[in-house]
Chains A and B, each alone.
Chain A
Amino acid sequence: MNKNSLLNIATFLCKFINACLIIVLLILTVVFIHFQVDRNFYKGWHTEKPIKGNSIQFQKTYGDEVIDPDKIYITDWNTGSLYFNYFKYVGIIFLLYLTIYQFQKVLKSVKNFETFKTTNVQAFRRIGVYCLIISSISWITDWDFNNYHVSGFHIDFDFLIISLLAFIFAEIFKEGNQLMEENKLTV
Chain B
Amino acid sequence: MAILINLDRILDERGMKSNELADIVGITTANLSILKTGKAKAVRFSTLEAICKALDCQPGDILEYKAS
Contacts and interface: CB of A to CB of B under 8 A. Distances in A.
Contacts of A65: none
A186 B39 contact: no
Interface string A156-187: 00000000000000000000000001100111
A185 B39 CA distance: 7
B67 interface: no
Interface in A102-160: none
B52 interface: no
Contacts of B10: none
A181 B34 CA distance: 13
Contacts of A186: 40-44
Contacts of A187: 27, 31-32, 34-35, 40, 42-44, 47
A182 B42 CA distance: 8
**8 A-B pairs with least C-beta separation:** A185-B41, A186-B42, A187-B35, A182-B41, A187-B31, A187-B40, A185-B40, A187-B43
Interface in B12-32: 27, 31-32
16 contacts: A182-B41, A182-B42, A185-B40, A185-B41, A186-B40, A186-B41, A186-B42, A186-B43, A186-B44, A187-B27, A187-B32, A187-B34, A187-B40, A187-B42, A187-B43, A187-B44
A186 to B, nearest CB: 4
A117 B11 CA distance: 35
B62 to A, nearest CB: 12
Contacts of B31: 187
Contact of A185 (B27, B34, B47): B34
A175 to B, nearest CB: 15
A58 B40 CA distance: 65
A16 B11 CA distance: 59
A184 to B, nearest CB: 8
Contacts of B43: 186-187
Contacts of A185: 34, 39-42
Nearest to B51: A187
A182 B31 CA distance: 13
